[in-house]
Structure 1
Amino acid sequence: MTSAQRKDDHVRLALEQQHTHSGRNQFDEVSFVHHALAGIDRPDVSLATTFAGITWRAPLYINAMTGGSVKTGAINRDLAIAARESGVAIASGSMHAYFKDPSCADTFRVLREENPDGFVMANVNATASTDNARRAIDLIRADALQIHLNTAQETPMPEGDRSFGSWAAQIERIAAAVDVPVIVKEVGNGLSRQTILALVNLGVAAADVSGRGGTDFARIENGRRELADYAYLHDWGQSTAACLLDAQDSGLPLLASGGVRNPLDVARALALGAGAVGSSGGFLRVLLDGGVPALIARLAAWLEQLAALQTMLGARTPADLARCDLLIHGDLRSFCSDRGVDTRRLAQRSSSIDALHEMTGSTR
């Protein structure tokens, strides 16, 4: 099977997952404590976010998806147009196909051609050479580089990698060799606290926890196997909410993706400590069902609704959501207990008199 055929298979199987999702994930086990006098005025709300020295107009991005075939190149073109018109950042899919076959360069280059002034991230795997990492950045004039981690995808992949021991050292080499911020991301199985603490020492700028709850690439790769005999790896890993809780105070700026279904999930992830929040499969489904205008409308609606949620919660900026009180329920609460995460602290973040006065705008 050619790389282009595999990329097209990934899109087809990812869309099938979108149509079979149950609709619930562990974001539903995170809720805001409602303070009825916390609201502020909408003109006082900003969506701008800053993390790792990077500033975006909004804390939302179209995360890594695809590229490497004619069909996926057309998808990248449409995604780039939507990102341009909406003012959100965008990431390319893995550019490994380009390293193997430079003739597919245009399927990635289109991300910059259609979005000349936007924030665009290149994407490589942890086995990429430093030269190839630079090639990926140069091809799309990337503002940042994502390095993806995907052992749970590679394991059932018929042609997958089976050598993971050198990944940490190679991430460190790439981070030292390139001139843009490096963001290490999972592909949907989550980053544990131990992994994030290890990344702190590798010179990367940020980590995208990319947890369980969205597109399941282990399931996709198992679906490409003749016997589909790795079904026990379906739903492997930690949810995005669990990863953010696990990584509290880890010292590395965090991004969040994986299972983000709506603006409330965006607000939840920001409240759990993410600097920005990405989505892939849901945006892809909107694009393929309704075209570029539908995706632009969806992105605009999410941004407007996120601003409305910030207004209700009294958060002038996305970062202020991390001061809101949160309740953790169900299995996610059990995860926190086992991992030593203090959920009481999360539930009482605005409980001091000074914080309440600031939240309500009152004076003593």
Structure 2
Amino acid sequence: MQRAKRKLEHIQYALELGDGPAATHLADLRFLHNCLPEINPADFVLSVEILGKRLRLPFFIDAITGSTDAVTEINRKLAQVAARTGIGMAVGSQFGAVRDGSGIASYTVVREELAEGLVIGNISALATPAQAQAAIDMLQADALEVHLNAAQELWMAEGDKDTCGLLANLMQIRDAVSVPVIVKETGCGIAAEQYELLLEQGFTAFDCAGAGGTNFPAIEAKRQGVELTEEFAAWGVPTCWSLLDAQQTLPQNALL
């Protein structure tokens, strides 16, 4: 019951608080004009193959919600949008579902609506390899996001504060499961040092989820009725910076 209440509060406060206050800094980027492009727009192809599935556009709906029956229709509608537009979808954290069976329908509905499409599972980096595989099996998932959310957990009253051993556990999950593993942040970004560390350990797929969008530390503070300081409210690596770090750090064949 506590987990279901928390998931509903996440949706409530995400809508109430909006994005930020940190900026993604994507607006700071400018395209350089090429006066001699030598291209034909008719030759452009926007479809792309990712994780063995062909997408009409190089987009997917990233992890949003789940773990309570009350959000089943939200995920159903999101999956319907993904199916109609030819893009993929990742579900919210399945940790509760694989631990105690809560809200399983809020996840399985995604595969029901996106029968042949790209569906990505989602599990905590604290999960066991067996729980990670159960999350994959629940969705017949094409890949699994393993999320890192240290900042959120610190501000969550019931959060897991001890992050010792996460990298070793990530590696155990990756080596045990049947689909590719994507290392995912949850709104605070991935910096060059962590890309390098993860790359050294054999990880090749990342979802940087940088600062500037949904702010989970702010949401958790709101749940407790407290205000974040200005520094913590803007905590994280902006999405633009995280992507630039990835470009400089990762090989071209890495999935980002």
The alignment's TM-score, normalised by the length of structure 2, stands at 0.91
* 1:41 Cα deviation from its structure 2 partner: 2.8
Separation of aligned partners in 2, 1:125 and 1:62: 18
Separation of aligned partners in 2, 1:23 and 1:166: 29
Matching of residues 185-334 of structure 1 within 5 Å: 185-228=184-227, 232-252=231-251, 253-255=254-256
Separation of aligned partners in 2, 1:163 and 1:24: 28
State the one-letter code of the partner of 1:91. A
* 1:51 Cα deviation from its structure 2 partner: 5.9
Write out per-residue CA displacement over residues 9-54 of structure 1, whole angstroms, 9 at most, x where no aligned residue. 0011111123x76796401111001224427333200113356777
Q: Does the CA-based 8 Å contact 1:66-1:92 persist in structure 2?
A: yes
1:75 partnered with 2:97: no
Match of 1:164 in 2: 163
Q: Say which SS state the counterpart of residue 247 (structure 2) adopts.
A: coil
Structure 1 residues 128, 233: closer, same or farther in 2, change over 3 A? Answer: same
Structure 1 residues 232, 159: closer, same or farther in 2, change over 3 A? Answer: farther
Separation of aligned partners in 2, 1:56 and 1:235: 34
1:176 partnered with 2:175: yes
Match of 1:9 in 2: 9
Separation of aligned partners in 2, 1:233 and 1:99: 32
Separation of aligned partners in 1, 2:170 and 2:176: 10
Q: Say which SS state the counterpart of residue 33 (structure 1) adopts.
A: coil
Match of 2:145 in 1: 146
Kindly tell me the number of residue pairs found equivalent between the two proteins. Answer: 254
Q: Does the CA-based 8 Å contact 1:219-1:231 persist in structure 2?
A: no
* 1:247 Cα deviation from its structure 2 partner: 2.4
Q: Say which SS state the counterpart of residue 183 (structure 1) adopts.
A: strand
Q: Does the CA-based 8 Å contact 1:176-1:203 persist in structure 2?
A: no
Report sequence identity in percent: 37
Match of 1:62 in 2: 61
Match of 1:105 in 2: 104
Separation of aligned partners in 2, 1:101 and 1:132: 11
Matching of residues 24-35 of structure 1 within 5 Å: 25-35=24-34
* 1:55 Cα deviation from its structure 2 partner: 5.3
Separation of aligned partners in 2, 1:23 and 1:196: 21
Unaligned runs of 5+ in 1: 256-364
Q: Say which SS state the counterpart of residue 250 (structure 2) adopts.
A: coil
Write out per-residue CA displacement over residues 147-180 of structure 1, whole angstroms, 9 at most, x where no aligned residue. 0101011001000011101110011001100111
Write out per-residue CA displacement over residues 303-330 of structure 1, whole angstroms, 9 at most, x where no aligned residue. xxxxxxxxxxxxxxxxxxxxxxxxxxxx
* 1:103 Cα deviation from its structure 2 partner: 4.1
Q: Does the CA-based 8 Å contact 1:47-1:59 persist in structure 2?
A: yes
1:137 partnered with 2:136: yes
The alignment's TM-score, normalised by the length of structure 1, stands at 0.65
Separation of aligned partners in 2, 1:47 and 1:169: 37
Separation of aligned partners in 2, 1:23 and 1:220: 14
Greater helix fraction, Structure 1 or Structure 2: 1
Q: Does the CA-based 8 Å contact 1:109-1:140 persist in structure 2?
A: yes
Structure 1 residues 232, 158: closer, same or farther in 2, change over 3 A? Answer: farther
Q: Does the CA-based 8 Å contact 1:93-1:123 persist in structure 2?
A: yes
State the one-letter code of the partner of 2:25. Q
State the one-letter code of the partner of 1:201. E
